[in-house]
A and B are shown apart, each in its own frame.
Chain A
Amino acid sequence: MSFMEFVIAAIGIASAIGVVGFRNPLSSAFSLILHLLSIAGLYALLGAHFLAVSQVVVYAGAIMVLVLFVLMLLNLKSESGRRIGIVRSALTVGVGLVIFLTVSGPMLAQFTDISQATLEQNIKASEGGVKAIGELLYGKYMVQFELSSLVLLVGVVGAVMLAKRKNVQLTPREGGMGGAK
């Protein structure tokens, strides 16, 4: 593992912990942006350049902007109230540990002995250029590609339906937020 990889991975993991750990959602969001960027870096290191770009644009860009927008809109403070109980935290970490070990164990065991030669060769083949991916998207995965448009459409319509309020009186409690169309 190269130094570069190590650093980026470390940033990714640290920022992931940050997302979970920061009490202020805004800090979490910024931490997540960092996390997504570091993942993009890992993609780039793995040779998936198209994905690395998409990751920055779609995730770190579009999605996170949306998240931040909503966060600002709702103008939220840190999580209030009771802290999470120690038992629950321990339980959660324990469960996480079990999942991590049971999932990663066989996975790592399976792929440790791949010969470097095949890997080198494969890396060449999986250079994620735009062209190669584009060919797949419009060839082998055309149906899925078309279907993904349906996913986006659902996203749009769904958001409209939930956010748009027609013929509905706002209760005083939600008065402040009436602005969202």
Chain B
Amino acid sequence: MNALVPFAPVLALSLGSLGYLVSGQLLERARLTSLFALGLIGAAAYLIVGLLPTAPTVPHGFIINDFSKFFAILACLGAFVSVIGTASSLAGEKIGMLSEYYFLMLTSLCGALVMIFASDFLTLFIGVEVASLALYCLCGARVTKETSSEAALKYFLLGCVSSAFMLFGIALWYGVTGGLVIAPINSSGPLVILSFVLMMVGLAFKIGLAPFHLWVPDVYQGAPTSVTTYMSCVVKVAAFAALFKIALNAFLLPTEWAVGILWFLSVLAMTVGNLAALQQRSVKRMLAYSSVAQAGYMLIGLVVLGDTTSVLASSVFYLTGYCAMTIGAFTVLSVLGPDADSVDDLKGLVKRSPFLAIAMTLFFLALAGLPPSMAGLMGKVYLFTGALSSQFYGLAIIAVLNSALACAYYFRVPAAMLFQAPPTSEPVRVSVFSTFALTFCVAAVVGIGVYPEPLVELCEAVASAAWRQ
């Protein structure tokens, strides 16, 4: 039985979610389905914290250490909050089959956890596929809406291509080392680089880094908002965990060749994301492009990786803050209704629901890196100090100019909500669930910035555990 302990969270999620298939009509009540999902995620989170061994262990295909545990918790927390926040909007999105919906979401989370815990490439790949396949379906869950299917198709086809790239990278890794374990390699021959680039294409796709970001706006916009909420956080967390893991433990970054690639991706992502977002009238697309740009920032920690852990910690810190912001922002959108998307839909929101408007403003301020929701600002302090300390001045300057440019579009949504007249004075009803989720996100976004010390310390610990001891 002890042999199963390291797999407990994944087992709990996967076996638990079978309940949806078994119970049939019993769980078709909306409230109950959501609660069941929440319970399972909570259980998984509890198991991660409570049951997993504290010392680093490497059971079959898994690695349990502070690094993977932190990311797993983050993914669970993200899933938990997004499920709470969007539970009440599912009906509006006409997602009829709640059991399947939650089954897929939980399985997807399960896949994300596998990605996070994986200690060999094969497990990692299976994790990626579990998470992705479930998400492809979820994107198409709003069967009555054309764009939902379209998003699913695009995500599916492009996702498969990216998987193929990643798999090719894994094959090359196998070709070089003769094994599939994520373990240090003492070579930097062309095949290793090739392998890294191909895997990077796959992971950059999942993270949504330019130039592999083209699916992001379409899918974020087309997918049901509840799915987008979930996806924007959990996929990024899992993919970043995987990226950090293989980059540090397999390819032994920092290396000279990897810096160029990552620098290029990071700069391109933040610039392209911000520039493209400037023109968007659709809030979901704007947030999608913004997530591309934010991913570019988060990559900085890996680009400038020196011999200290703190730069990586800064990326982890920023990612944590970002999860709260993006979940919050998409949750607000989901509360506004299944088709709330254009900036115009948000006009005068402060008159219709001050709570939503203020929460959304705080999320946007955080994304823009402005006080009082200082999670973004502190994250940038942390990130850019790291970049400077590794003498990546150009990168830091580009990043900081980008964050200034980004204000141009981050301003638009709060401006519409707070400063323009509403088309209708009908108040927006916010369910207790959503209120809770939004309050949590607001607290996180503000709290992380105002009192970041504990999280900073945690991230330092997580970052130092990123290397296999």
Contact = CB atoms under 8 A, between A and B. Distances in A.
A106 B134 CA distance: 36
A42 to B, nearest CB: 15
B273 interface: no
A158 interface: yes
B7 A143 contact: yes
B134 A158 contact: yes
Q: How large is the interface on B (under 10, 10 to 19, 20 to 34, 35 or more residues)?
A: 35 or more
A1 interface: no
B94 interface: yes
A151 B114 CA distance: 12
A161 B100 contact: yes
A111 to B, nearest CB: 7
Interface stretch (B189-197, B207-215, B218-226): B189-197
B14 A162 contact: no
B397 to A, nearest CB: 31
A25 B453 CA distance: 60
Nearest to B123: A144
B270 interface: no
A157 B176 CA distance: 37
Given A150-B14, A151-B126, A168-B94, A157 B104 contact: yes
Contacts of B144: 168
Contacts of B114: 147
A103 B175 CA distance: 13
B122 A158 contact: no
A115 to B, nearest CB: 16
Interface residues of A, number: 31
Contacts of B190: 105-106, 109-110
A20 to B, nearest CB: 14
The prevalent SS among residues of A at the interface is helix
Given A158-B133, A158-B136, A143 B94 contact: no
A157 B61 contact: no
A84 to B, nearest CB: 17
Contact of B127 (A147, A161, A165, A167): A147
Contacts of B175: 107, 110-111
Interface string B94-116: 10110011011001001100100
A41 to B, nearest CB: 20
Nearest to A148: B126
Contacts of A111: 175
Contact of B107 (A143, A150, A162): A150
A140 B7 CA distance: 15
Contacts of A71: none
A153 interface: yes
Contact of B133 (A141, A142, A155, A160): A155
B189 to A, nearest CB: 7
B126 A144 contact: yes
B191 A154 contact: no
A81 to B, nearest CB: 18
Contact of A141 (B7, B61, B189): B61
Contacts of B21: 157
A107 to B, nearest CB: 6
A166 interface: yes
Nearest to B11: A146
A23 interface: no
Contacts of A166: 96-97
A151 B143 CA distance: 22
A160 B194 contact: no
A140 B110 CA distance: 21
Contacts of B140: 162
A158 B97 contact: no
Interface in A4-36: none
A150 B123 contact: no
Contacts of A160: 100
B172 interface: yes
B123 A154 contact: no
8 contacts: A102-B194, A106-B190, A144-B123, A147-B114, A147-B130, A157-B100, A157-B104, A168-B143
Interface of B: 7, 14, 21, 59-62, 94, 96-97, 100-101, 103-104, 107, 110-111, 114, 122-123, 126-127, 129-130, 133-134, 136-137, 140-141, 143-144, 152, 168, 172, 175-176, 189-191, 194, 198
Given A161-B97, A168-B144, 9 more contacts: A103-B198, A143-B59, A143-B60, A154-B107, A157-B103, A158-B104, A161-B104, A161-B137, A168-B143
The 7 closest A-B pairs by CB, nearest first: A158-B137, A106-B190, A161-B100, A143-B60, A143-B61, A166-B96, A154-B133
